[in-house]
Amino acid sequence: MQIVKIGGWDKLQLTPSDQERLMDEIKKRTTITTVGQNLIRISYQDPDPERAYIVTKGYADLFIRGTLAEKAKESKGAFDFIDNQVKIYESKLKDSEEALKTFRSNNTDFQEGAVQDVNRNISQYRTRLEELKQQLLEAEIRRSTLESQLSGETETAAGISRVEQIQARIGQLQTRLDTLLLSYHETYPDIIQLKTQIAELRELLKKEQQRRILEKNAAETSGHAYIDESVRANPIYQQLQGDLYDTKTQIAMLKVRMGETQRLLQKEIERAKRIAEAEATLSALTRDYNVNQEVYQDLLRRRENARVSMNLDLQHEGMSISISEPAFYPHTPTGPRYLHFVIGGLFLGVAIPIGVLFGLQQVMPKVLSAADLKVQSDVEVLGEFVHFTTRHEKRRALATNILLIMTMTGVFIAIAVISVQRLQNG
């Protein structure tokens, strides 16, 4: 429709069908060919030279404007697409950064070198645990030895028990009481005091004897040896008893240390598991972050390149299109000229009658001479009749030939005059 407007056909009162036929005719007259690399030729044929020039030039202008507009549209579309991808990957990169930040804040113990520290701590705790086990075994052996020594010392130790001491004290007081009774009455204060002390000591002796019986029964019930006060007062027994207490305290401390070391070891093992899981998670998060960052940086470069290309295309500088052979006014019509028709007419004027005569001779069922009859068949010719032309027939044939020659001469003269005039007019 733009070519119809450029060529001036829109000013004609055309029906829709005429307009469609006109556009089909314009398409047939238009030829687009590829001449070389990045070089095309647009040609248009029209009976009107000026219209042919205008339409051909319009084709070139439309092609250039359309190509530049399409290129600018493609550049704008590419820029918009890349810019949209940049925004998408920018969001993905922010999400990856936030995931890494959250992971590091939730896994403060997972720092650089944490794996080596955990492995070193696990090795140290295991070594320490083995040492504590060895120390505990030695302490238990020492405890068994001390218990055996205390048992033997209990059997062999001798000394004054508390009961015997009380009995000896009572004897002393009784002797003194007897001496005072020889000189004083029973109401004498010292005698009363001695009797009170003796009574208290006897009561204490009774309680001590009951306590010993209870301790002995308890020791027999529990299966332990009963240790008398005399034995307990023995310095060797006391030394062994102190060593036993120290050994038992050491055993208890070693067990506590073993439990604590075992807890720390288990804690480090759990930490190692968490670090392994965190390391795998960190690797995945880091990998996603690196991929998103690489794609994002590449898209940024592509967006800047697309921006430059889009600006160049919008300013019609990104694509260079030039017209190597501009449209021109045709001064000589294309196709057969008038002289060609003249020469062709002369040629056809000679060739057609000859061809017609030759064709008639081939299809005409007449024999014109005896020689032809002999050639065409095996019939024997016995004789032939000669045709004699009358005077009237000769005059008529002569008049016909003269008229034909005059007609042909007039036609040739007329053609020659018209040709000379056309050649003179250009």
Q: Do 199 and 154 share a structural domain?
A: yes
Q: Do 188 and 72 share a structural domain?
A: no
User: Is residue 244 predicted with pLDDT exceeding 80?
Assistant: no
Q: Do 168 and 272 share a structural domain?
A: yes
Among 17-31, 157-171, 228-242, 330-344, which stretch is predicted with the lowest mean pLDDT?
228-242
Q: Do 156 and 79 share a structural domain?
A: no
Q: Do 84 and 219 share a structural domain?
A: no
At residue 332, the pLDDT reads 65
User: Is residue 53 predicted with pLDDT exceeding 80?
Assistant: yes
Distance CA 335, CA 29 (A): 13
Which of 42, 76, 39, 37 has its CA nearest to residue 57?
A: 42
Q: Do residues 125 and 268 lie in contact, with contact meaning Cβ atoms separated by under 8 Å?
A: yes
Higher-scoring residue by pLDDT: 398, 214? 398
Residue 416 resides in a domain: no
C-alpha distance across the termini of the chain, in Å: 35
How many C-beta atoms surround the C-beta of residue 196 within 10 A? 11
Where does the pLDDT of residue 230 fall: very low under 50, low under 70, confident under 90, or very high at 90 and above?
A: very low
Where does the pLDDT of residue 157 fall: very low under 50, low under 70, confident under 90, or very high at 90 and above?
A: very low
Higher-scoring residue by pLDDT: 254, 165? 254
Q: Do 93 and 139 share a structural domain?
A: no
Q: Do residues 194 and 177 lie in contact, with contact meaning Cβ atoms separated by under 8 Å?
A: yes
pLDDT in tens, 94-147: 888 888 888 777 776 666 666 777 788 888 888 988 988 888 888 888 888 877
From 272, 290, 308, the end of a domain falls on: 290
Among 88-97, 194-203, 232-241, 389-398, which stretch is predicted with the lowest mean pLDDT?
232-241
Q: Do residues 271 and 118 lie in contact, with contact meaning Cβ atoms separated by under 8 Å?
A: yes
**Counts for the chain of helices (H) and strands (E), in that order:** 11, 2
Residue 165 resides in a domain: yes
Distance CA 302, CA 320 (A): 22
Structural domains of the chain, count? 2
Q: Do 122 and 89 share a structural domain?
A: no
Among 19-33, 174-188, 315-329, 376-390, which stretch is predicted with the lowest mean pLDDT?
315-329
Q: Do 210 and 68 share a structural domain?
A: no
At residue 184, the pLDDT reads 72
Residue 271 resides in a domain: yes
Residue 147 resides in a domain: yes
Q: Do 158 and 250 share a structural domain?
A: yes
User: Is residue 423 predicted with pLDDT exceeding 70?
Assistant: no
Q: Decide: pTM greater than 0.85.
A: no
At residue 132, the pLDDT reads 85
Q: What is the mean pLDDT of residues 301-322?
A: 71
Residue 312 resides in a domain: no
From 231, 261, 290, the end of a domain falls on: 290
Helix 391-424 vs helix 338-363: crossing angle, to nearest 10:
150
Q: Do 70 and 126 share a structural domain?
A: no
At residue 231, the pLDDT reads 47
Q: What is the mean pLDDT of residues 59-65?
A: 85
* DSSP run (H or E) holding 266: helix 235-314
Q: What is the mean pLDDT of residues 278-284?
A: 78
| DSSP per position, 38-97 | TEEEEEE--SSHHHHHHHHHHHHHHHHHHHHHHHHHHHHHHHHHHHHHHHHHHHHHHHHH
Q: Which long-range contacts (CB under 8 A, 24 or more apart) does 139-146 make?
A: 139/247, 139/250, 139/251, 139/254, 140/251, 142/247, 143/244, 143/247, 143/248, 143/251, 146/240, 146/243, 146/244, 146/247
Q: Which two tokens stand for residue 293?
A: 């960052």
Task: Give the burial class of 293: count Cβ atoms within 10 A of its Cβ; 0-12 exposed, 13-18 middle, 19 or more buried.
Answer: middle
Angle (CA) 397-369-381 rounded to 5° is 145
* DSSP run (H or E) holding 31: strand 30-36
Q: Which two tokens stand for residue 405?
A: 């020659």
Q: Do 269 and 239 share a structural domain?
A: yes
Distance CA 195, CA 186 (A): 9
Distance CA 169, CA 200 (A): 11
- Coil, strand or helix: which one is 113? coil
How far, in whole angstroms, is CA 212 from its chain's centroid?
A: 89
Q: What is the mean pLDDT of residues 176-190?
A: 77
Among 149-153, 246-250, 259-263, which stretch is predicted with the lowest mean pLDDT?
149-153
**Interacting residues of 388 by C-beta distance below 8 A, sequence separation 6+:** none
Distance CA 59, CA 43 (A): 9
Residue 6 resides in a domain: yes
How far, in whole angstroms, is CA 101 from its chain's centroid?
A: 21
User: Is residue 415 predicted with pLDDT exceeding 80?
Assistant: no
At residue 160, the pLDDT reads 44
Looking at the DSSP bridge assignments, the partners of residue 39 are 36
Q: What is the mean pLDDT of residues 334-339?
A: 65
- Coil, strand or helix: which one is 103? helix
Q: Which two tokens stand for residue 400?
A: 């016909």
Looking at the DSSP bridge assignments, the partners of residue 33 are 41
How many C-beta atoms surround the C-beta of residue 28 within 10 A? 9
Residue 425 resides in a domain: no
At residue 158, the pLDDT reads 37
From 290, 311, 336, the end of a domain falls on: 290
Q: What is the mean pLDDT of residues 265-278?
A: 81
- For residues 17, 18, 24, 29, the Cα torsion angle rounded to the nearest 10 degrees is 180
Q: What percent of the chain has pLDDT over 70?
A: 76
At residue 120, the pLDDT reads 85
- Coil, strand or helix: which one is 109? coil
At residue 314, the pLDDT reads 66
Residue 251 resides in a domain: yes
Domain holding 83, by residue range, is 2-102
Q: Do 199 and 165 share a structural domain?
A: yes
Where does the pLDDT of residue 159 fall: very low under 50, low under 70, confident under 90, or very high at 90 and above?
A: very low
11 DSSP assignment: G
Q: What is the mean pLDDT of residues 23-32?
A: 88
Q: Which two tokens stand for residue 15?
A: 């029906």
User: Is residue 405 predicted with pLDDT exceeding 80?
Assistant: yes
